[in-house]
Structure 1
Amino acid sequence: MTSWNPPSMDCAAERPLFEAAAEATHALGSVHFWPAFFKLLRVRLAFENALVTWYYPRQAPTVVLEFDWVASAAESQVTRYVEGMYRLDPFFQAFENGLGPGLHWLSDVAPDCFRQTDYYANYFRDAVGQDEVQLVCASHGGLLSVSLGAGQHYAASEARSLHPLQPWLLAILSRHADAGTDTAAAKGLAAPSLALPFRDALARFGVGALSPREAEVARLTLQGHSLQSIAQHLGIASETVKSHRRHVYAKLDVRSPSELFALFTAGLGPAPALPMAE
Structure 2
Amino acid sequence: MFCTAGPAQFRKRPKKRLAVAMKSAAGARHPSFDVWNASLGAAAAAIGTRGFPDALAAALRLLAPFQMMNGFLYSPDGHAFDLYNDKIVAVRSVIVDHYLAGAYVLDPFYDAVRSDRSQRMIVMRELAPDDFLQTEYHRQHYATTEIVDEIGFVLQLENGFIGVLSLSRTGTASLFATEDLERLRSAAPVVCALAARHWFHVPSLSLDIKNAAPAVRIEHPLLTRRELEIVTLILKGHSNLSLAAVLSLSPNTVKVHRRQVYSKLAISSQAELFRLFLA
TM over 0.5: same fold?
A: yes
Q: Report the secondary structure of 1:19's partner residue.
A: helix
Q: Is the 8 A contact 1:227 1:238 kept in 2?
A: yes
1:119 matched residue in structure 2 = 137
Residue type at the aligned position of 2:164: S
| Cα deviations by residue, 1:29-87 (Å, 9 ceiling, x for unpaired) | 22221111111111112221122222111142111321447x66786521111111112
Q: Distance in 1 between matches of 2:210 and 2:167?
A: 23
2:149 matched residue in structure 1 = 131
- 1:58 counterpart (77, 85, 88): 77
Q: Is the 8 A contact 2:117 2:162 kept in 1?
A: no
Higher mean Cα deviation, 90-99 or 20-29?
90-99
Shift in CA distance, 16/185, structure 1 to aligned 2, threshold 3 Å? farther
Q: Indicate yes or no: 2:67 matched with 1:48.
A: yes
Displacement after TM superposition at 1:108 (Å) = 2.7
1:143 matched residue in structure 2 = 162
1:273 matched residue in structure 2 = none
Residue type at the aligned position of 1:158: D
Q: Indicate yes or no: 2:72 matched with 1:25.
A: no
Q: Indicate yes or no: 2:112 matched with 1:94.
A: yes
Q: Is the 8 A contact 1:53 1:65 kept in 2?
A: yes
Unmatched tracts of structure 2, length 5 or more: 1-28
Residue type at the aligned position of 2:37: F
Q: Indicate yes or no: 2:247 matched with 1:229.
A: no
TM-score by length of 2: 0.79
Residue type at the aligned position of 2:133: R
| Cα deviations by residue, 1:104-138 (Å, 9 ceiling, x for unpaired) | 00023211211221210122223460111110121
Unmatched tracts of structure 1, length 5 or more: 1-9, 267-278
Q: Is the 8 A contact 2:132 2:237 kept in 1?
A: yes
**RMSD value over aligned CA atoms?**
2.6
Q: Percent identity?
A: 27
Shift in CA distance, 74/168, structure 1 to aligned 2, threshold 3 Å? closer
Q: Distance in 2 between matches of 1:263 and 1:101?
A: 35
Higher mean Cα deviation, 11-20 or 86-95?
11-20
Displacement after TM superposition at 1:100 (Å) = 2.8
Shift in CA distance, 257/48, structure 1 to aligned 2, threshold 3 Å? same
Shift in CA distance, 192/40, structure 1 to aligned 2, threshold 3 Å? farther
The within-5 A match list for 1:91-240 is 91-127=109-145, 129-140=147-158, 141-151=160-170, 152-178=174-200, 180=201, 182-183=202-203, 185-186=205-206, 193=212, 195-197=214-216, 201-203=217-219, 206=220, 208-240=221-253
- 1:259 counterpart (244, 257, 272): 272
Instruction: State the aligned residue count.
Output: 247
TM-score by length of 1: 0.79
Q: Indicate yes or no: 2:26 matched with 1:13.
A: no
2:23 matched residue in structure 1 = none
Q: Distance in 1 between matches of 2:250 and 2:30?
A: 57
Residue type at the aligned position of 1:24: A
Q: Report the secondary structure of 1:51's partner residue.
A: strand
